[in-house]
């Protein structure tokens, strides 16, 4: 299912206060040719990094600092329009109800998920997930650290090769803006890993998850795709890139 289910600890934005040790520094950078509005989420009502969401122009970057043990997720929103005063508005993909997200992004959406170690000697766990579908390419790169510390992500543009039955199309332009997961499209136990398909043994890859996996081998393609999709590293910061194929 990814690694977000146990999110529980608060975090700080940009600085740590007093003698509290800092966790990882996340650098979010936009290599897309268009503006992205990153969304952030943490668990148990803790204040999210970056106030939950913000605008990131092409070529721009932002650094956010967490506390040790922080868990949460990041995603990109596209084609957004917000009121400058109130922050009210809507996005074509990844929408969360406003500029500063009060909750998670609306599927289909590409997710980056973290569970950080509570000490400098522990392991961070991270992944890029397509379990909720795909809307934009994303990658996670450790900048230092000890352990496997691999780059995870989805660099290929899945919207270009999305099966017709999974496509989300912008009405005025006819442009494919996102690619649904099979679970969202068909809502059956086989595709959603529920009911009799609710265990790693009974929930197997499908023809649709195979399309995602072939395009993005280091990303979660379905709920129990743990073996090739969950990454670990210790003592590192992270670069999260939107449209990494543009680098």
Q: Are 158 and 166 in contact (CB under 8 A)?
A: no
Total of domains in the chain? 1
Averaged pLDDT, 127-132: 96
Evaluate whether residue 13 is within a structural domain: no
For residue 167, give the 3-state DSSP assignment: strand
Residue 37's DSSP bridge partners are 77
Residue 233's DSSP bridge partners are 124
pLDDT tens by residue, 158-181: 999 999 999 999 988 889 999 999
Averaged pLDDT, 111-119: 92
Q: Are 46 and 4 in contact (CB under 8 A)?
A: no
Averaged pLDDT, 63-85: 94
Q: State pTM to two decimals.
A: 0.88
Q: What is the mean pLDDT of the chain?
A: 89
pLDDT tens by residue, 33-49: 999 999 999 876 666 89
Residue 21: which pLDDT band, with cuts at 50, 70 and 90?
A: low
**pLDDT at residue 189 tops 60:** yes
- What is the rounded distance in angstroms from the CA atom of residue 183 to the CA atom of residue 147? 34
Evaluate whether residue 15 is within a structural domain: no
pLDDT at 227: 82
Averaged pLDDT, 57-62: 98
Evaluate whether residue 135 is within a structural domain: yes
Please give the residue range of the domain that contains residue 177.
Answer: 25-246
pLDDT at 126: 96
Evaluate whether residue 179 is within a structural domain: yes
Evaluate whether residue 7 is within a structural domain: no
For residue 41, give the 3-state DSSP assignment: strand
**pLDDT at residue 151 tops 50:** yes
Please report, for the domain that includes residue 117, its CATH number: 2.60.110.10
Evaluate whether residue 225 is within a structural domain: yes
Evaluate whether residue 6 is within a structural domain: no
């Amino acid at each position: 299912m990814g690694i977000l289910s146990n999110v529980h600890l608060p975090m700080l934005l940009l600085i740590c206060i007093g003698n509290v040790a800092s966790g990882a520094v996340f650098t979010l950078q936009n290599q897309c040719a268009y503006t992205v509005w990153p969304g952030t989420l943490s668990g148990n009502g803790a204040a999210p990094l970056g106030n939950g969401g913000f605008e990131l122009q092409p070529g721009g970057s932002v650094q956010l600092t967490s506390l040790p043990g922080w868990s949460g997720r990041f995603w990109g929103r596209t084609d957004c329009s917000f009121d400058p005063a109130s922050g009210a508005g809507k996005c074509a993909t990844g929408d969360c109800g406003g500029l500063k997200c009060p909750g998670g992004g609306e599927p289909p959406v590409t997710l980056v998920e973290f569970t950080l170690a509570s000490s400098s000697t522990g392991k961070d766990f991270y992944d890029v997930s397509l379990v909720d579908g795909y809307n934009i390419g994303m990658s996670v790169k450790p900048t230092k650290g000890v352990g496997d510390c691999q780059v995870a992500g989805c660099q290929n543009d899945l919207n270009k090769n999305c099966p017709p039955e999974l496509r989300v199309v912008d009405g005025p332009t006819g442009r494919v803006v996102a690619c649904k997961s099979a679970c969202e499209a068909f809502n059956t136990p086989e595709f959603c890993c529920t009911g009799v398909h609710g265990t790693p043994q009974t929930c197997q890859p499908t023809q649709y998850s195979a399309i995602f996996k072939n395009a993005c081998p280091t990303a979660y393609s379905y709920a129990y795709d743990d073996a090739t999709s969950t990454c670990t590293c210790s003592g590192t910061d992270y670069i999260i890139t939107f449209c990494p194929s543009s680098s």
